[in-house]
């Protein structure tokens, strides 16, 4: 008796020609700068920086925070603060629809996420913006989240680190978006008075009202290589001043040369750089002597929190709309 018997009625179907190829989608990506094919896993290991040419791929906000904190561990803060539609704004589609779409695409509740955790020996409150959420635009909820982050840092006497990536203020919230510029800077002034460090990191791209406010007032301002940083876009400036702009205008290296930045730091060295900077800036002796800032109320919402009558954002899972 044979060990195996061929079943006569079962035919193996030939694979059609168009499917006869090794499936490599989602395994390789092409470097946008040098066109080199990159193995996705290698790219992840090099923190989304091309190992051949050093091109920095854009990064989502959760990855940024994981790369920053010790062992990637942090406590997410104020995830319940999200945008509402205070102006009932409609452009090509209604603003609430746009918000829903942004949440789906980015998997985030807002254009920024905030976290509390340790960076080296230091307690840090960090925020990271995400371009996938309506171009990383700054609406009322983004402003509120950053302000709360700063107020928490004041209460716990910690440092603030913010990774900016933004197209600017969110036009669907009009002037309310612009008010966030002043609001965040006012909170940063308190941080400054309390002698606590604020490190601003500009990533590709940082433009508009974000550049014009909190991103540019760090105690140390760092950028990633070749990041686009500016207020208005180069085309708008060229049309306004009717002049050709210099090459690499608004790139991190150009801005460093012209004194707008303190350093351009490779992403793979960013964490070590920040730890060194925090060691330099945070003097434990001074920390012990300075009393906790008196301006900040202890209720968890601070000076700009829920008492403010005109605040335009919503706290999710809470009945009070403020
Ligand atoms: Zn490359």
In the reported structure, the alpha carbon of residue 247 is separated from the centroid of ligand 1 by a whole-number distance in angstroms of 20
Tell me the longest C-alpha to C-alpha distance in the chain: 93
pTM of the model: 0.82
The span from the first CA to the last CA of the chain, in angstroms, equals 83
Q: pLDDT value at position 288?
A: 57
For residue 50, report the distance from its CA to the centre of ligand 1, in Å.
5
Residues of the chain with pLDDT under 70: 1, 6-12, 19, 21-25, 284-313, 315-322
Q: How far is the CA of 251 from the centre of ligand 1 (A)?
A: 18
What per-residue confidence (pLDDT) applies to 23?
Answer: 62
DSSP 196-233: --EEEEEEEEE-HHHHTTGGG--SEEEE-TT-BB-SS-
Question: 165 alpha carbon to ligand 1 midpoint, in Å?
Answer: 21
Q: What is the total residue count of the chain?
A: 322
Between the CA of 207 and the centroid of ligand 1 the distance, in Å, is: 24
User: What is the reported pLDDT for 3?
Assistant: 76
Place of tokens 């303190």: 262
Query: How far away, in angstroms, is 37 Cα from ligand 1 center?
Result: 8
> 269 CA to middle of ligand 1, Å?
18
* Beta carbons within 8 Å of 131's beta carbon, 6+ residues apart: 58, 165, 166, 167, 205
Cα–Cα dist 82/85, whole Å? 10
Compute, in angstroms, the gap from residue 133 CA to the centroid of ligand 1: 26
Full set of structural domains in the chain with CATH: 25-57 (no CATH), 58-315 (3.90.226.10)
- For 98-145, the pLDDT digits (tens) are 999 999 999 999 999 999 999 999 999 999 999 999 999 999 999 999
DSSP secondary structure code for residue 282 in this structure: -
Q: How far is the CA of 54 from the centre of ligand 1 (A)?
A: 6
Q: What is the pLDDT of residue 290?
A: 53
Distance between Cα 35 and ligand 1 center (Å)? 6
Q: How far apart are CA 176 and CA 155, in angstroms?
A: 27
**What's the Cα-to-Cα distance from 38 to each of 46, 47, 60, 113, 195, rounded to whole Å?**
11, 13, 19, 29, 44
């Amino acid at each position: 008796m044979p060990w195996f018997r061929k079943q006569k009625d079962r035919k193996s179907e030939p694979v059609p020609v168009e499917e006869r190829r090794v499936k490599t989608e989602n395994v390789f990506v092409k470097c946008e700068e040098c066109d080199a094919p990159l193995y996705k896993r290698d790219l992840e290991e090099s923190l989304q920086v091309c190992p051949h040419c050093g091109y920095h791929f854009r990064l989502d906000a959760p990855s940024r925070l994981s790369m920053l904190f010790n062992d990637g561990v942090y406590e997410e803060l104020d995830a319940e603060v999200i945008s509402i539609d205070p102006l009932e704004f409609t452009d090509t589609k209604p603003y609430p629809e746009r918000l829903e779409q942004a949440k789906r695409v980015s998997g985030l509740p807002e254009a920024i996420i905030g976290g509390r955790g340790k960076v080296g020996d230091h307690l840090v409150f960090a925020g990271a913006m995400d371009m996938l959420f309506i171009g990383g635009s700054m609406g009322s909820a983004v402003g509120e989240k950053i302000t709360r982050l700063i107020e928490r840092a004041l209460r716990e006497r910690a440092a603030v680190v913010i990774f900016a990536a933004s197209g600017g203020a969110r036009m669907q919230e009009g002037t309310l978006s612009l008010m966030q510029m002043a609001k965040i800077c006012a909170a940063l002034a308190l941080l400054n008075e309390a002698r606590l460090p604020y490190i601003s990191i500009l990533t590709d791209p940082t433009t508009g009202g974000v550049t014009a406010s909190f991103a540019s007032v760090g105690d140390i301002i760092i950028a990633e290589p070749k990041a686009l940083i500016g207020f208005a876009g180069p085309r708008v400036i060229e049309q306004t001043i009717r002049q050709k702009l210099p090459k690499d205008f608004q790139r991190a290296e150009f801005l460093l040369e012209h004194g707008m930045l303190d350093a351009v730091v490779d992403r793979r060295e960013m964490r070590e750089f920040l730890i060194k900077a925090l060691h330099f800036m945070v003097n434990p002796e001074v920390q012990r002597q300075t009393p906790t800032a008196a301006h900040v109320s202890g209720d968890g919402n601070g000076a700009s929190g829920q008492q403010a009558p005109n605040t335009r954002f919503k706290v999710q899972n809470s009945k009070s709309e403020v």
